[in-house]
Amino acid sequence: MATLETYSEADKVKLSKFAKILTHKVAQIVVQSRQGRKITQECNARNAVDNGPPLSPTNQQWFNLSIPDEPEVKQDTNGVLKEEIVASLANVLCIEISLRTSDDERMVLELWTVRLVPSSSNNGISIPTIYYRMSIMLKSTLTISRITPAYKMSRSQHKESYKIFHKIYGGEPNLTLLGEKFKRIKISDLQTPIGTIYIDVVYRTKMTILPEDKPKVIESTSVTTTVNDIMVKSDHFYESPKKVNNDKKGIDLSKPLTVGAFVDADQIRELHDALSQQLPPEPQMTWLCSEKDKNDIKFKNLSISEDDAKPGCSTDNTGTSTLHATSKAIEVPKAKNGDKYASLMDFPFANGSPMADLANFYQECLQARSASDEWIEIGEVSASTDSESLSQQLKMFEDAVPEFDNMVASMFSNSENGSE
């Protein structure tokens, strides 16, 4: 086992190279997993006993993973790691994954960070062991990159809905861009002679796009102000009157009729006069009332006529006429329960469809119900007539009781005379 004192400058340079390649591969894994396509890469054949770094610099299979390098991602990562690897990773490498809609609205989904904290711990780990543990860190990053919500959203991205973008920069990430209740996953950490390497990811949990607080500058001739507030009307959260269909507009017949454009006013006036002559002689606005309101008006007029007739019944003729008037039957239209639902079951152009069959079944049920009501009324009438005839027969038998008594007495007397 090597110790800290046995690490040569060549070993430290080799570890710095491994750390730099590890950072490049982490950036490639994260960005390629958010491009919305499956990645298939053939693995290079290696000997099973060889667990060290690749022998050829052109070989892509670093850390026992065949990860292709995209030039754009490699260029952005090199821009952050242009200084010494220890100083660059001490400043934190951040990979920002964001979503942008077709309306140019932006939302940050994830923040991946790779950092190195310098330390002088004497762990006595050999270079091949550190390389092997770096490969485990990279495989853990590959696994975690497929289980966060951003991966599922990246597989569904489309240019007409939204696209996923990335940004690689150096410095501490701004976690406020992830909104409330974000979550953090510590992928791995590894102690090396040059420091401890940490790989973390912080991702958003609330996938709702809110309007960003971008200050608006209003320039005038003399004053320049910054506006952060949004003016909200008092009826902002109320429905428009055009969408309310339940309001009933009153009709005032006293107002003159107004005609629209390209309408002959003389014909409208003649039509109005003809319709006014055809209206029944009823109180004003009565024809607009419902059937129930009309019945209420009839009962009200009837009660008024009864009150007027009571003080004037001085003679028998007037009394009989009043009684005759009050005993006159008034036909009250029977409310039809099915009328208010009949319009709902009217389906034009639906012959032979399941909806038409449903409407026919509903009408048959209504007709059967009305027929049953009629049979019940007929049964009640027949029962009342039977009770009246039975009472008449009982009264007739009660009147004939003396005759039956005389007949029985005469029969007893005849039997006694015959026995003597």
Mean pLDDT per segment of 10 residues, for the chain of length 420 residues? 59 86 90 80 52 51 81 88 80 89 86 85 77 91 89 84 88 87 89 87 82 44 42 52 58 67 78 73 55 64 59 46 45 50 62 73 76 65 72 84 85 73
Cα four-point dihedral sign 44, 144, 146, 81: negative
Q: Please tell me the predicted confidence (pLDDT) of residue 322.
A: 42
Looking at 203, 227, 243, the residue that finishes a domain is: 203
- What is d(CA 91, CA 172) in angstroms, rounded to the nearest whole number? 7
Helix (H, G, I), strand (E, B) or coil at 186: strand
CATH number for the domain spanning 101: value is 3.30.900.10
Q: Specify the pLDDT at position 94.
A: 92
The domain tally of the chain equals: 2
Residues in Cβ contact with 54 at an 8 Å cutoff, skipping those fewer than 6 apart: 61, 62
Q: Is the Cβ–Cβ distance between 204 and 109 less than 8 Å? A: yes
Q: Is residue 344 part of a domain?
A: yes
Among candidate residues 148, 175, 203, the one where a domain is terminated = 203
Q: What is the pTM of this model?
A: 0.48
Q: Helices (DSSP H) in 156-236: which residue ranges?
A: none
Q: Are 23 and 82 in contact (CB under 8 A)?
A: no
Cα gap 193→183, rounded to integer Å: 31
Residue 293 lies in a domain: no
**Which residues are registered as beta bridge partners of 409?**
none
Does the residue 291 lie in any domain?
A: no
- The CA distance from 192 to 133, in Å, is 10
* Locus of tokens 């923040």: 111
What does the radius of gyration of the chain's CA atoms come to, in whole angstroms? Answer: 49
Residues 150, 235: Cα–Cα separation, whole Å: 38
Domain hosting 165: range is: 9-203
Q: Examine residue 395 and state whether it is found in any structural domain, yes or no.
A: yes
Tell me if 238 is assigned to some domain: no
Instruction: Evaluate whether residue 212 is within a structural domain.
Output: no
* Spatial CB neighbours of 70, under 8 Å, sequence gap ≥ 6: 28, 31, 32
Model pLDDT, residue 199: 92
Estimate to the nearest angstrom the gap between the alpha carbon of 272 and the chain centroid: 49
- pLDDT the model gives residue 306: 56
Q: Which of 173, 203, 233 is the last residue of a domain?
A: 203
* pLDDT for 12: 81
**Nearest-CA neighbor of 311 among 319, 301, 303, 299?**
319
In a domain, 136, yes or no: yes
Any domain includes 360 = yes
> Which residues are registered as beta bridge partners of 202?
111, 184
